[in-house]
Amino acid sequence: MKLMFFYRDLQNGGVQKNMLRLAEGLVARGHAVDFLIARSGPNEFAVPEGVKLVRCAGHNPVSLLIELVKQIDQRRPDVIYTAMPNYNGVALLARLVSRHKPRIVISERSHNGAERAHARWGFYSLSLLAAPFLYPLADRILAVSAETAESLAQSTGMARARIGVLHNPVVSPALERAAAEGLHHAWLEPPFELLLAVGRLTGQKDYPTLLAAFALLLAQRPNARLVILGEGEAHAALLAQARALGIAEQVQFAGFDANPYRWMARASLFVLTSLWEGLPTVIIEALACGATIVATDSPSGPRQILGTDGRLGYLAPVGDSAAIAQALSLALDHRLDGAALRAAAQTYSSEAAVLGFDAMLAELVGAT
């Protein structure tokens, strides 16, 4: 089967990683995959062997739509797979005007209600508004978690039964090999207790609350340290906040790291303080590395992955620095069994996701 994946870029992010893992698995099962991206940039993920990368000429919504129509008619894929509202919408509009009419599978990766509440005016917010009218045109609609699917149904008015759930393809032997790679850092040695956060430095991740919580923790545990892996527009503001809190010497903004898994496997705790998510890949990755996790109980995903009984991790209220600090201290005193965490992460194996997607493709194309 000839497939076309379509997304913004291949820079560091959970959506990109999961689409590439899925593409790699589908190529291994005999499918041909072209991966179209709208723009290039630094820190791009490597494209797996057998996946053909196509860089589109269009950047703004209109030129991107024109470019995608051209690519559809030239490459004539059987199925197009997209992710996130703006790229889902462009793909659905492109099929309306293209000569070739592939099947389209769209994927919802974040909590739609939260995205609507926080989106700034622009192409993305318009795409959210257009979703109730465009999404019903898709041949299949997938969400990464049940809660994400329910939020999408509520926001668009679509029947919940119209939206399937397929978990991200996260855990693989490659991830496990990467976690075992060597790493040397002074804060990984006693007497330090290293907290790790991974993700873009954006408002969604709520790093200001994490820094405030860490300052409270540090007052009680002076050997605590915090490393944040990621880049983004909030870097300068977060650095200024760390200085204002008097914790700049105990916090390191380490930038992008192509292998965060070796950090996850060695840190005392992994921390995620997002305001909202979909099914946060980074929590599953940390689980697969055997890390004890503290996450905010945000919509959606952390509760689904970790549960509420404390066996797989600890949840804290969104935006509450005092409660997060308390959860961090509790987790440091009661770290979880790494082997049990790694076993639980197998629910989100790449193999299971690829098999599920492949079965959906067979059903979809067989329905023609």
CA–CA dist 51, 75 (Å, integer): 14
- The pLDDT tens digits of the residues spanning 217-245 come to 999 999 999 999 999 999 999 999 999 99
Our count of domains for the chain comes to: 2
253 and 319 in one domain? yes
Report pLDDT for 368.
Answer: 46
Report pLDDT for 177.
Answer: 95
151 and 212 in one domain? no
154 and 49 in one domain? yes
153 and 22 in one domain? yes
- The pLDDT tens digits of the residues spanning 13-32 come to 889 999 999 999 999 999 99
246 and 305 in one domain? yes
What would the mean pLDDT of 172-201 be, rounded to a whole number? 96
**Which residues have C-beta within 8 Å of that of residue 72, sequence separation ≥ 6?**
4, 80, 94, 95, 98, 100, 102
Counting beta carbons within 10 angstroms of the beta carbon of residue 96, is it exposed (0 to 12), middle (13 to 18) or buried (19 or more)? exposed
Report pLDDT for 294.
Answer: 98
83 and 68 in one domain? yes
153 and 24 in one domain? yes
Sheet with 293-296, edge to edge strand ranges: 251-255, 224-229, 193-198, 269-272, 293-296, 314-316
231 and 104 in one domain? no
181 and 147 in one domain? no
What's the distance, Cα to Cα, between the start and end of the chain in Å? 14
75 and 16 in one domain? yes
- The pLDDT tens digits of the residues spanning 158-167 come to 999 999 999 9
188 and 150 in one domain? no
Q: What is the CATH number of the domain that holds 299?
A: 3.40.50.2000
Q: What is the pTM of this model?
A: 0.88
- The pLDDT tens digits of the residues spanning 301-352 come to 899 999 999 999 999 999 999 999 999 999 999 999 999 999 999 999 999 9
Domain hosting 353: range is: 2-169+349-366
Residue 367 has pLDDT above 80, yes or no: no
145 and 113 in one domain? yes
